[in-house]
Amino acid sequence: MNYCGRFAPSPSGPLHFGSLIAAMGSYLDAKKNHGNWLIRIEDIDPPREVAGAADKIIDTLDRFGFEWDEPVLYQSTRYTAYQDALHELQKEKLLYQCICSRSDIQAHGLQGVEGAKYPGTCRKRGFDNSTYAPQRSALRIVTGDQPISFVDGLRGTICQNIAQDIGDFILKRADGLFAYQLAVVIDDAYQGITDVVRGADLLTSTPRQIYLQ
């Protein structure tokens, strides 16, 4: 498969230095591998977005001399694809409605790798179209109790058991917005991304994204 890399910032402000490093890393890795390099604006969280930030980020990348091989993809144009993916998972009975609040989850006292772990309270609810209220319930995916591992170019082999370390995670939030984990996987597939170079803060997200793939 031909190498295809990407840089996928959220337009929550101007491009900061850490993101510029990530962009540079993915760009150089794509060039070294004679691959393509794409930009995707992850604008699926309007409350956190700053007006004009997406244009500023693209302008900054342009002024630093980055060149991208396809038109910029905006996640705000991709809602139908995300919804279709949720339908597929719903058909497979892998989605369920969750009405737990943050404090409900914390009250269980289960610790995961990213703070309080979801205890699976609502699993038994399943998904029921007649009672599903997108503005009141989140949608979570049923996770498997098996290790998922991958090899990171810098950190080596990373292994995580999602059920034990994270718990069933959210694909659509109770405020009606699609979750980052879902959108990133759908769009990496859609754009044919083969290699991801990004900040180490996303290392613990990778097993969830592999699981969704």
Q: Pick from 12, 60, 90, 121: which binds Zn ion (CB under 5 A)?
A: 121
- 3-class state of residue 139 by DSSP: strand
Can residue 122 be called a binding residue for Zn ion (CB under 5 A)? yes
Q: d(Cα 29, Cα 34) in Å, to the nearest integer? A: 9
Element (H, E) at 23: helix 17-32
Token digits of residue 37:
């390099």
Q: State in angstroms the smallest separation of the CB of 171 from Zn ion.
A: 13
Quick check: 98 binds Zn ion (CB under 5 A)?
yes
> Closer CB to Zn ion, residue 35 or residue 167?
167
Nearer to Zn ion, 34 or 124 (CB): 124
CA distance 171 to 190: 18
Closest CB to Zn ion among residues 67, 128: 128
Rule CB under 5 A: say whether 174 interacts with Zn ion: no
Which residue number, 2 or 103, has a Cβ lying nearer to Zn ion? 103
Minimal distance, residue 161 CB to Zn ion, in Å: 20
- Contact, 57 vs 41, CB < 8 A? yes
Alpha carbon separation from 153 to 1, 89, 96, 197 (Å, rounded):
18, 31, 35, 9
* Binding status of residue 166 toward Zn ion by CB under 5 A: no
Binding site for Zn ion (CB under 5 A): 98, 100, 121-122
